[in-house]
């Protein structure tokens, strides 16, 4: 499968059929409209211009790039929403973090730390063992960069807390490069954007039950201040 050529202010689909869309969201674009006239441009609005009636199923943070699933009609939205609620949609991410983390090719490890809202500094989240909600992230190292002292990691959130991956990695001393919320100034300055990308989605098709697996790899070109390049997209349906 090949992606269409980029369309200015448009939405790109890695996969589409009569029931659903899987869209490629660039970093910096909201998933849904925010408050104020300057925050109306978003992935859902762009999708609805091209696919009228497209409905939101889930979201990514504005700073995160990657795959976003949308429904083409209300029944598909209900079924997909139920799948997310029951944790039947499997998501994986890739990120570049500060420091040398883990052993490349090693087994999956876990970060099991409860997350709570930081009410005095909203929208920030914090690790809070007293009132935080259980939060579990699996991770493994993909590559080390000895010169930059960074690690590319694959991440699998087993719970769905706000900013979970960002909070967990910062909590173990390996914040994501370019993270304006949870990284120190030096780590923020190492990348022009948050180097976090939703790279894989796997779920059952809402109409047929057929397994659907999609992947969009990201090279994380650290000198590219705009949307990420499309690298080797794959779709298996």
Q: Note the helical H segments in 120-188.
A: 164-171, 185-188
* Catalytic one of 41, 61, 118, 184: 61
Residue 235 CA to chain centroid, in angstroms? 17
d(CA 146, CA 164): 27
For 62-116, give the DSSP string.
Answer: TT-EEEEEEESSHHHHHHHHHHHHTT-SEEEEEEEEES--S-TT---EEEE--EE
Is residue 137 within 8 Å of residue 110, measured between CB atoms? yes
> What b-and-e string marks burial along 131-165, b requiring 16 or more CB atoms within 10 Å of the CB?
ebeebbbbbbbeebeeeeebbbbbbbbbeebebbb
- 128 catalytically annotated: no
Catalytic residues: 61
């Amino acid at each position: 499968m090949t992606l269409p050529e980029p369309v200015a202010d448009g939405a790109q689909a890695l996969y589409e059929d009569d029931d659903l869309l899987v869209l490629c969201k660039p970093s910096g674009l909201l998933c849904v409209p925010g408050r104020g006239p300057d925050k109306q441009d978003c992935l859902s609005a762009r999708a609805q211009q091209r696919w009228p009636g497209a409905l939101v199923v889930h979201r990514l943070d504005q700073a995160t790039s990657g795959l976003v699933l949308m429904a083409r009609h209300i029944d598909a939205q209900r079924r997909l929403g139920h799948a997310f609620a029951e944790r039947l949609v499997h998501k994986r991410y890739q990120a570049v973090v500060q420091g040398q983390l883990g052993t490349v090719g090693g087994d999956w490890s876990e970060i099991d730390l409860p997350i709570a809202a930081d009410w005095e500094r909203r929208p920030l989240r914090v690790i809070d063992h007293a009132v935080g909600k259980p939060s579990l992230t699996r991770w493994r190292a993909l590559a080390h960069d000895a010169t930059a002292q960074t690690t590319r990691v694959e991440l699998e959130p087993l719970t769905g807390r706000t900013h979970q991956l960002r909070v967990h990695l910062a909590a173990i001393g390996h914040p994501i490069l370019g993270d304006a919320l949870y990284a120190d100034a030096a780590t923020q300055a190492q990348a022009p954007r948050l180097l976090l990308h939703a790279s894989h989605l796997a779920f059952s098709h809402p109409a047929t039950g057929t397994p659907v697996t999609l992947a969009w790899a990201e090279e994380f070109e650290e000198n590219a201040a705009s949307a990420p390049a499309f690298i080797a997209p794959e779709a298996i349906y």
